[in-house]
């Protein structure tokens, strides 16, 4: 039930952030988002930058997300902690993700280690970012013992992984958000949601004024 509530909150947040882009009157974010929308229609330029609040940002940037949440682990049939870390990068206009997560009943006592790599779609605006990734995963760990007299059985399996990110950006290059995810293989399933921090490599410094050029205009 808790996971369903958190998933509903995640999709509500996505709708709220999308509504911000089109609700009148125009805000500074809507002006900036309109500019970004036009830039993304242009041919790919790895060094393309925008200037917001006198600060330069790289349009096509890589980012890191990391956080912790709750997930349902079918191998143990209960809700567990789920810390995770992802590196999200681009090749031209294509987005990719590599990362990993743990499933553990308590901090430092993990029973599942998962790594994943995938391709995805990233929708970035000045004040928020939405992204979805899907790909392959490799999971290893232990299953819940059948009874008190048996030991936990180990496993190692290849599976499929899907994640949806919803980020509110405090500044263009950092923010907070939620990630909902599902990992499935022939042994177990992990599904849950986590709160995450978002950090990108977009920032390129303060825009310098060319006072000589301005004086001649």
Q: Across the beta sheet with 55-58, what order do the strands follow? A: 49-52, 55-58, 203-206
- Domain limits at 39? 2-215
Q: What is the CATH number of the domain that holds 77?
A: 2.40.160.20
- Cα-flanking dihedrals φ and ψ of residue 5, to 5°? -65, -45
- The crossing angle, in degrees rounded to 10, of helices 2-22 and 28-39 is 90
- Which of these, 89, 88, 90, 92, lies nearest to 43 by C-alpha position? 92
Cβ atoms 41, 186 nearer than 8 A: no
Distances in Å between the Cα of 194 and the Cα atoms of 6, 83, 159 are: 9, 8, 20
pTM for this one? 0.82
- Number of independent structural domains in the chain: 1
pLDDT tens for each residue of the chain, 217 residues long: 555 555 565 656 556 555 555 555 568 999 999 999 999 999 999 999 999 999 999 999 999 999 999 999 998 899 999 999 999 999 999 999 999 999 988 877 778 999 999 999 999 999 999 999 999 999 998 887 766 656 667 889 999 999 999 999 999 999 999 999 999 999 999 999 999 999 999 999 998 765 444 444 4
């Amino acid at each position: 039930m808790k996971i369903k509530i958190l998933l509903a909150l995640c999709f509500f947040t996505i709708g709220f952030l999308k509504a911000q882009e089109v609700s009148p009157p125009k805000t500074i974010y809507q002006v900036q988002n309109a500019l970004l929308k036009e830039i993304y229609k242009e041919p790919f330029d790895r060094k393309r930058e925008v200037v917001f609040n006198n600060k330069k940002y790289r349009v096509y940037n890589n980012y890191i997300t990391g956080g912790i949440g709750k997930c349902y682990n079918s191998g143990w049939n209960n809700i567990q902690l789920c810390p995770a870390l992802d590196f999200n990068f681009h090749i031209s206009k294509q987005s990719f993700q590599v990362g990993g997560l743990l499933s553990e009943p308590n901090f430092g006592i993990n029973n599942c280690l998962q790594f994943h790599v995938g391709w995805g779609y990233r929708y970035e605006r000045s004040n928020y970012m939405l992204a979805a990734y899907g790909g392959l995963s490799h999971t290893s760990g232990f299953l819940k013992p059948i009874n008190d007299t048996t030991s936990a059985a180990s496993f190692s399996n290849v599976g499929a992984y899907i994640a949806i990110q919803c980020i509110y950006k405090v500044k263009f290059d950092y923010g907070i958000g939620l990630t909902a995810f599902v990992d499935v293989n022939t042994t177990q399933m992990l599904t849950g949601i986590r709160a995450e921090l978002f950090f990108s490599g977009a920032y390129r410094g303060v825009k310098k004024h060319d006072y000589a050029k301005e004086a001649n205009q």
